[in-house]
């Protein structure tokens, strides 16, 4: 989502809340020590408020930041590659968060590329479950004191109640979708 769209969505949401509160632009401006002109530009998506200003407006309009952002816009269902965050560690392993902000959801899917002969960081036992689907290559799933192999086209699933991590024993990169619940990456 680009800045112009974000400004437009914020402006519309503020305008709707202002009208629900029965306030004019001037009354809202007086309560927030802003100008009527700034409120007008804000509602038309022509300017971006600072975080402090936006929080002040949200409070003056009788809502909370979480309710404000939950109500603005539609729920996003499809995510583009450019919206994803990617991290490469010192071993050349790549973790790509394929659903932005999934840490606030009940599950967190990631795309993992394990370099040949490398492994993921060992994860301590925790509440939750983990699922993986191997897209390319093969991985060893270290689960407690046991090892399991999963090859391209195979999946794995376990409760995260033991130390666990993945290893690529092959000579090519291994790629897999890994889903954790609750989010832990």
Averages of pLDDT over each 10 residues, the chain, 185 residues:
78 87 90 93 91 91 82 68 84 88 77 96 92 97 98 97 96 96 72
Q: Tokens for 39?
A: 């409120």
Q: Are residues 92 and 175 in the same domain?
A: yes
Residue 68's pLDDT is what? 81
Q: Which range marks the domain in which residue 49 is found?
A: 3-71
Q: Are residues 32 and 91 in the same domain?
A: no
In a domain, 41, yes or no: yes
**Nearest C-alpha neighbor of 164 from the set 140, 137, 135:** 140
- pTM of this prediction? 0.61
Residue 164's pLDDT is what? 96
User: Which residues, other chains included, contact 152 with Cβ-Cβ below 8 Å and sequence gap of 6+?
Assistant: 134, 135, 136, 137, 138
Any idea which residue has 């539609």 for tokens?
74
Domain end, chosen from 31, 53, 71, is at 71
Residue 73's pLDDT is what? 53
């Amino acid at each position: 989502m680009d800045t112009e769209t974000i400004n437009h969505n914020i402006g519309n949401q503020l305008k709707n809340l202002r009208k629900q509160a029965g306030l004019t632009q001037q009354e809202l401006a007086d309560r927030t020590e802003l100008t009527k002109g700034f409120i007008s530009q804000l509602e038309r998506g022509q300017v971006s408020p600072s975080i402090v200003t936006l929080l002040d407006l949200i409070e003056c309009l009788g809502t909370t930041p979480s309710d404000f952002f939950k109500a603005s816009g539609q729920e996003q269902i499809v995510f583009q590659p450019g919206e994803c965050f990617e991290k490469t560690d010192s071993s050349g392993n790549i973790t790509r968060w394929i659903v932005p902000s999934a840490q606030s959801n009940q599950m967190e899917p990631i795309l993992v590329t394990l370099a040949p002969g490398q492994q993921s960081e060992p994860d301590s036992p925790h509440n939750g479950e983990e699922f993986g689907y191997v897209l390319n290559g093969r991985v060893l799933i270290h689960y407690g004191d046991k090892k399991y192999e999963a090859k391209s086209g195979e999946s794995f699933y376990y409760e995260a109640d033991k130390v666990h991590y993945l290893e690529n024993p092959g000579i090519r990169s291994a790629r897999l979708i890994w889903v954790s619940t609750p989010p832990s990456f």
